[in-house]
Amino acid sequence: MLLAHHLAQLHAASPVILPSLLLCDFGNLEREIRQLEEAGVKGLHLDVMDGHFVPNFTYGLPIVESLRRLTDLPLDVHLMISNPQQYVQQFVDAGSDLLTIHAEAVDDPCPVLEQIRIAGAASGLAINPPTSLESIDDALPYCDMVLVMSVMPGFGGQSFDEVALEKIRTLRAKLPDDVLLEVDGGVNEQTIAACGAAGAQLLVAGSAIFCQENYATSVAKLTQLASSKS
C-alpha cells in the first residue's frame, strides 16, 4: 500500500510524470511496464471507466491485479465510476495504492475518502472542469491528493482546458503541503510547463508518452518541461 513514506517519496520527486495506461499495448503489458520502469517513471495511472459515469468503458479489477503482479511501482487508480463506495475494498485488495473518486459521482465524498484510507490506500478526489472548488471544501481534509481534470473524463486525446490552471494555483495556496496535486487531461509538451508552474506535482500523460517512439526520451522531456516553472 502507498504508506506515508511512499507519499513523501512522490513529494520529494515532484514533478512526477505518471503514464496513463489507456494507450499502452495491453497485448504486451509486461513489456510495456518494463519499458516504463526503464524510463524511470515513479508510478502508473489507471483510468477505470464504467460506461455510466463517463461515456466509455475501460478495464477493471483484473488489470489492476495483473499490474500489481508485474511491478512494485505505485498504482494510481482513478475511478471514473458511479457508486465508487461499493468497490473501494476490491480495488485496494487488487493492489491500488492511491485510489481517486470523483466529487460528481457521490452525494458526499467525505465518507468514501475515509473509507479509502481505512481500507489501506491513499485517498484522492477528482473534479471535472465545470465543478467549483467551493463544492469540495468540506472534503479537502479527507484528501491525500486532489486531481484537477483539465478535460471532461471519458476519452483520451482531448484539448487542455486552462480553467484547470487557476484551480491548481488556488488549491496549492490553500492545501497543506503534504496533500498532493495532480492534473490529468491534455497534458503534453505544450501544456505541461504551465501545469508545473501552477503547482501540479503529479502530471498524468498518455499520448505524450505512448504515441512517441522512445518512452525514456518522452518522460525525460516532460519532466524537464514540468520543472521549468515558466
Q: Of 201, 198, 208, 160, which is closest to residue 182 (Cα–Cα)?
A: 201
* Cell numbers placing 183: 492534473
Question: What is the β-pairing status of strands 44-49 and 98-102?
Answer: unpaired
DSSP type of residue 10: H
Contact between residue 96 and residue 69 where contact means Cβ atoms under 8 Å apart: no
Q: DSSP character for 200?
A: -
Burial class of residue 159 (count of CB atoms within 10 Å of its CB; 0-12, 13-18, 19+): exposed
For the question of residue 138 being annotated catalytic, the response is no
Alpha-carbon dihedral sign for residues 135, 139, 140, 141: positive
Active-site hit among 25, 47, 50, 76:
47
Query: Of 50, 76, 161, 184, which residue is the catalytic one?
Result: 184
And the C-alpha cell for 22? 489507456
Strand 44-49 relative to strand 16-19, pairing:
unpaired
Is 137 part of the annotated catalytic residue set?
Answer: no
**Active site (catalytic) residues:** 47, 184
